[in-house]
Amino acid sequence: MNGWLLALLQTGLVVFTAPFLAGWVKWVKCRLQARQGPPAWQPYRNLLRLFSKEVVVAESASPIFRIAPYVVFSVTALACSVVPLVAVGLPTATLADVIVLVGFFALGRFFLALAGMDVGTAFGGMGSSREMTIASLVEPAMLMGVFTLAMTVHSTNLATMIGYLLASPFQLYPSFVFAAMGMMLVAVAETGRIPVDNPATHLELTMVHEAMILEYSGRHLALMEWAAMLKLMIYGVLLVNLFIPWGVAVDFAPLSLLLGLLAISGKLLLLGSALAFAETGLAKMRLFRVPQYLSLAFILCLLGMLSHVILEMN
């Protein structure tokens, strides 16, 4: 029972601190651009404000429009319970492995794209079309990265992966270096950050994610935005905990849990700052440059896999 309670707490922690991470990234970006910027807890105020606002639904919308925010949010919240934030070995970690996690995001994206097409406007269709195109190019790169990791640790279970890396002595895996680089590019594409998609744009032709949720308002919009922030947090946790796993708690003792909490907070804040740096330094690519970007990610992961086979296997 202790494990399940801890898992519930961890899920709650992920769900309720994700807006802070998004706010932190935005604050660092503003500071880098010599602006004062909103405080890091601004997303909480945005969400609360949206939850109390009126919901306006278009005449041509169908039931899919109204259930999509719930599906997207619940699937992403379930994914939160699977990622190891503070500790490994929780019972929810065996619910799904990395490939199932990818499947969860795919399910959320499916309903998000359907919601974009639902009202019958051109913006939504455009957003859905672009999102599905980008997603279909991201999947091979992501899977190749996952395979590279899984070939070394002989598992796709997140808890086993991190446990294996913590248990073995420190080694420099060339395959992991490449997989990390590739997965970073993939994470940027999946979470819709610059240079693939601009999360703060107002111009319809530069939107991907925003175009699909353009028609949403009130609590539905709050759920969609929250789900996007959750996705950013989940990818961040995966990147830092899979490639720099030191600090993650392997047992449930209070001291190691506290250490794990501190470690993940530090790592995520650093990753958020790095993301803010990258977003400030790069410009958004036009849509037909994204395939080249994603094929670079695929080649990185492919090189990682080849490095494993050539350099690390005996």
Partner 1 sequence: MSFSLASLAVIAALASGLLPLLRPRSNRVIKVISFPLLGLAGLSGVLGGGMTLLQGVRYQLELPVGLPWLHSQLYLDPLSGFFLLVVGLVTLVAAVYGPAYVREYEQGPQPLFPLTLFTGLFVAGMDLVLLAADAFSFMISWELMSVASYFLVAYQHQHEVNRRSAFIYLLMAQVGGLFILLGFGVLARFGGSFDFSVMSQAVLPDGWATVAFVLAFIGFGMKAGVVPLHVWLPQAHPVAPSHISALLSGVMLKVAVYGFIRFTYQMLGGIHWQWGALVLFVGSASAVLGVLYALMQHDLKRLLAYHSVENIGIIYIGLGLSMIFAGTGHQALAALGLIAALYHCLNHALFKSLLFFGAGAILQQTHEHDLERMGGLIRRLPVTATCFLIGCISISALPPFNGFVSEWLTFQTALQGTVLNNHILAALIPVAAAVLALTGALAAACFVKVFGVCFLGMPRSEGCAVAREISLGPQVGQILLALLCLLFGVLPTWTVAQLETIARLFFPAGMPETTAHGWLWLTPVAPEVASYGAPLVLLGICLAWALAWLWLHPRRRRTPVRISPAWDCGFGPLNARMQYTATAFSMPIRRIFRPVWPISESYQEPGKEEHGGRYRLQIGDWAWSKLYEPIARLVLGAANRLTIIQGGNIRTYLAYSFFTLLLLLLVVSL
Partner 2 sequence: MFLAQLPLAEQMVLTLAALILFTSFLLLVQNRIISLIHTFAWQGVLLFAATCLMALSSGRYHLFISAAMTLSLKVYFIPWQLRRLVEKLDIRREVETVGSSSLIMIGGGALVLFSYYVVSPIRELSLLATRNTIAVSLAVILVGMLMIITRRKAIAQVVGFMSMENGLFFSAVVATYGMPMVVELGVAFDVLVAAILFGIFFFQIRAGIGSLNVDHLNRLHETDL
The reply to whether 22 sits near partner 1 by the rule CB under 8 A is no
State the first-to-last Cα distance of the chain, in angstroms, to the nearest integer.
43
Binding flag, residue 283, partner 2 (CB under 8 A): no
User: Is residue 141 within 8 Å of residue 182, measured between CB atoms?
Assistant: yes
| Of 73, 105, 178, 235, the one binding partner 2 by CB under 8 A | 178
Which one, of 122, 266, 282, 116, lies nearest residue 193 by Cα?
282
Angle made by CA atoms 284, 271, 150, in degrees to the nearest 5: 95
DSSP per-residue string spanning 118-150: HS--HHHHHHHHHHHHHHHHHHHHHHHHHHHHH
If the CB atoms of residues 99 and 282 are measured against partner 1, the closer one turns out to be 99
The rounded distance, in Å, linking the Cα atoms of 59 and 182 is 43
H helices of 282-314, in order, are 290-307
**Member of 5, 48, 58, 282 binding partner 1 (CB under 8 A):** 58
115-123, 155-163, 201-209, 292-300 -> range binding partner 2 (CB under 8 A): 292-300
Report, in Å, the least distance between residue 294 CB and partner 2: 9
- Cross-strand partners of 249: 87
From the list 25-33, 88-96, 169-177, 259-267, the region that binds partner 1 by CB under 8 A is 88-96
169 touches partner 2 (CB under 8 A): yes
126 binds partner 1 (CB under 8 A): yes
Q: Which of 91, 103, 174, 218 binds partner 2 (CB under 8 A)?
A: 174
Tell me which stretch binds partner 2 (CB under 8 A): 100-108, 203-211, 222-230, 287-295.
287-295
Nearer to partner 2 by Cβ, of 173 and 226: the residue is: 173
Show the CA angle centred on residue 99, arms to residues 169 and 274, nearest 5°: 60
Closest CA to 265 of 98, 8, 62, 21: 21
Residues 217-246 that bind partner 1 (CB under 8 A): 218-219, 223
Binder among 60, 205, 277, 311 for partner 1 (CB under 8 A): 60
d(CA 192, CA 227): 12
Beta carbons of 62 and 120 less than 8 angstroms apart: no
Q: Tell me if 308 sits within 8 A of 175, measured CB to CB.
A: yes
How many residues sit close enough to partner 1 to count as binding (CB under 8 A)?
86
CA distance 44 to 47: 5
Distance CA 168, CA 161 (A): 11
Among 168, 200, 251, 277, binds partner 2 (CB under 8 A): 168
How far apart (Å, rounded) are the C-alpha atoms in residues 99 and 233? 18
CB of 184 to partner 2, least distance (A): 14
User: Using CA atoms, how far apart are residues 190 and 106, in angstroms rounded to an integer?
Assistant: 10
Beta carbon of residue 181, minimum distance to partner 2 (angstroms, whole number): 8
Q: Is 299 in the site for partner 1 (CB under 8 A)?
A: no
172 binds, among partner 1, partner 2, none (CB under 5 to 8 A by kind): partner 2
Of 86 and 146, the one with the shorter C-beta distance to partner 1 is: 146
Site membership for partner 1, residue 147 (CB under 8 A)? yes
Verify binding: residue 306, partner 2, rule CB under 8 A: yes
Residues composing the chain: 314
Give me the residues that bind partner 2 (CB under 8 A), please. 168-169, 171-175, 177-178, 291-292, 295-296, 299-300, 302-303, 306-307, 309-314
